[in-house]
């Protein structure tokens, strides 16, 4: 540590050691943790869970032909997500949206299972076509009785409508 830095208070030394990038990343991580808590509360809400499940299953039929091969090497963990992408991904994980797709078809072959667990990944990668209308459908059902939860879902659906390039860091 140089002589000049030694004269500073610990707080000032800490500021000097930080870069804008590390500070931003640190506070984004804290916000993501807050968001996970909020999203998990949504999952515990019985009506939200029911309507999300129904909305997901309504879309499964259209995509049931997707096979496990389609997701080979394309797991979300392999992708580098932007802060907005992490918010959407955390929402899918915390609310368990991926798991809702498993029950509808009754199929237990590899394709169906992979589809179910990859629904979240697929929804993120192709958000405008899949995740956004799913969330909107659930939000509309919830609006009358649970306006706040409906607003959350609408807010996430608007994010999901944006081009998927905003979710993935280049």
Partner 1 sequence: MADTLSQIIDDLITLGENRDELEFWKTIYPDLSASEQKELMNNLENELQKLRGISKNS
Nearer to partner 1, 87 or 102 (CB): 87
Q: How far apart, in whole angstroms, are the C-alpha atoms of residue 128 and residue 69? A: 22
Task: Please report, for residues 102, 111, 157, the alpha-carbon distance to residue 108 in angstroms, rounded to integers and kept in the order given.
Answer: 8, 8, 29
Please, what is the minimum distance in Å from the beta carbon of residue 17 to partner 1?
A: 10
Q: Shortest gap between Cβ of 38 and partner 1 (angstroms)?
A: 6
Which CB atom, from 33 or from 110, has the smaller least distance to partner 1?
Answer: 33
**Residue 72: CB minimum distance to partner 1, A:** 29
Cβ(116)–Cβ(98) below 8 Å: yes
Q: Give whole-number Cα distances, 23 to 27, 36, 73, 86, in Å.
A: 6, 20, 32, 17
Binding site for partner 1 (CB under 8 A): 12, 15-16, 18-21, 23-24, 27-28, 30-31, 34, 38, 82-84, 87, 148, 151-152, 155, 158-159, 162, 166
Other CB atoms within a 10 A radius of the CB of residue 87 amount to 19
> Is 104 or 139 the residue whose CB approaches partner 1 more closely?
139
State in angstroms the smallest separation of the CB of 35 from partner 1: 9
């Amino acid at each position: 540590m140089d002589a000049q830095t030694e004269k500073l208070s610990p707080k000032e030394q800490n500021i000097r050691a930080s870069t804008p990038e590390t500070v931003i990343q640190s506070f984004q991580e804290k916000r993501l943790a807050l968001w996970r808590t909020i999203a998990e509360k949504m999952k515990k809400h019985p009506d939200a869970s029911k309507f999300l499940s129904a909305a997901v299953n309504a879309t499964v039929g259209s995509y049931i032909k997707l096979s496990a091969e389609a997701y080979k090497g394309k797991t979300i963990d392999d992708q580098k997500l932007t802060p907005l992408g992490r918010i959407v991904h955390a929402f899918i994980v915390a609310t368990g949206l991926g798991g809702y797709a498993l029950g509808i078809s009754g199929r237990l072959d590899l394709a169906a299972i992979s589809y179910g667990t990859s629904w979240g990944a697929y929804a993120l990668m192709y958000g405008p076509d899949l995740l956004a209308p799913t969330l909107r459908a659930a939000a509309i059902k919830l609006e009358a009785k649970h306006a706040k939860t409906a607003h959350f879902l609408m807010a996430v659906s608007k994010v999901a409508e944006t081009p998927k390039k905003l979710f993935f860091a280049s």
